[in-house]
Amino acid sequence: MCSKELKMWSRAIRSLGNKSKYIGCITAVGGCVYAGYDLTSSKVKLNFIKFSQQVTCLSCKEERSPVSISFMAAPVTSIENLLKCPTSTATKMELLIMEIQASVCRAIEALEGGDKKFIVDKWSKDNNTGGGVTCVLQDGEVFEKAGVNVSVVHGSLSEGAEKQMRSRGRNFVRHDDGTLPFVAMGVSSVVHPTNPYCPTVHFNYRYFEVTSADGEKTWWFGGGTDLTPMYLDENDVRHFHSELKKACNKHGNDLYPKYKKWCDEYFTIPIRGERRGVGGIFFDDVEGPDADSAFAFVKSCAESVIPSYIPIIAKNKHKSFTPENKQWQQLRRGRYVEFNLIYDRGTKFGFQTPGARIESILMSLPLTARWEYMHTPKLGSQEYKLLKVLKEPKDWV
């Protein structure tokens, strides 16, 4: 945290009238997230708080036990604004995506081992229109490239983005000055392991809010998690889908089959007649039954990323592989690039957003990929087995 940020947070927290026993609190993800000022060391304890005694939350007025919550960086939104709306969906979502980013980064670092750590890049957009935290680890032993990005942005929706949303049934009325205010936030990640027997994973969980001229707010959630193996291990795929199904079933037994089907349909490369991977779940425009229920569903799905994926990497990261295996991995990564640049809605939206941060948008791309003319796997080979499943998706659980 830079000295400017430190002073800002110090003023914000001191303005709450905190004493050593009283700290600010936002009731959100899993209880209370604390923001306080350590009077003994004159340090701001912003995104991680440790106290040796019970503390009283200024917001809910309840006694709380000592806690330790650590993000990769300070949240994008200021503490003043977070504390103004502690129970709003936007506040809860921002804290959730910060928490998911940190937990996934630390799980990946633990698998990587050694001194390799994520580079943490906290950035801001021009004209005070938000920012984000991009975390990237690359050229590791286990992970060739892993990126976990959080963004919280606001401004006026571009006409291109509005047109894209209208095509999905959204109707907005611009304000008299021609603006269409929006707030968008999310956590997105793509992890490309080094070993060809370790699959790539992608997840994205997001919240969008638009305010029309009449003051009416239109909001929705979207997201999903999907797996892209280069070699098919059916036990691994079943494990992955089982964890996602378990998360969905907490909120309705009809959700997993619906969102699994949507995932198979969405992550399709039409010009190839292939799916990008073996699927997972994908959903968009989730608006109900109410904001709290929708948020709880998204939270369950986001928290399933680690149990669905990390055990697969732990199992396969030390498997031996040949140059031919690596070449196949590079070819499959080429397909990944094709989908992301040609078909992915999130990438398109990012390109259409004024002042878009290209480095964060293209974080999902692998370090290396390969294209070969008219490459066809040998009939009956492991590569052929994978391609057959990509052309004809199946139910795994």
User: What distance lies between CA 215 and its chain's CA centroid?
Assistant: 29
- Torsion angle, alpha carbons of 72, 77, 78, 84, to 10: -130
Phi and psi (nearest 5°) for 189?
A: -150, 145
Query: Which tokens in the block code for residue 316?
Result: 């396969």
Specify whether 202 is catalytic.
yes
Residue with tokens 């935290």: 133
Q: Please tell me which residue in 154, 192, 202, 375 is annotated as part of the active site.
A: 202
Measured CA to CA in angstroms, residue 66 lies from 57, 317, 366 at distances of: 11, 37, 41
Beta bridge partners, 120, equal 135
Measured CA to CA in angstroms, residue 343 lies from 208, 267, 275, 337 at distances of: 20, 8, 12, 10
Angle between helix 89-112 and helix 291-303 axes, rounded to 10 deg:
0
CB atoms inside a 10 Å sphere around CB 345: 12
Catalytic residues: 202
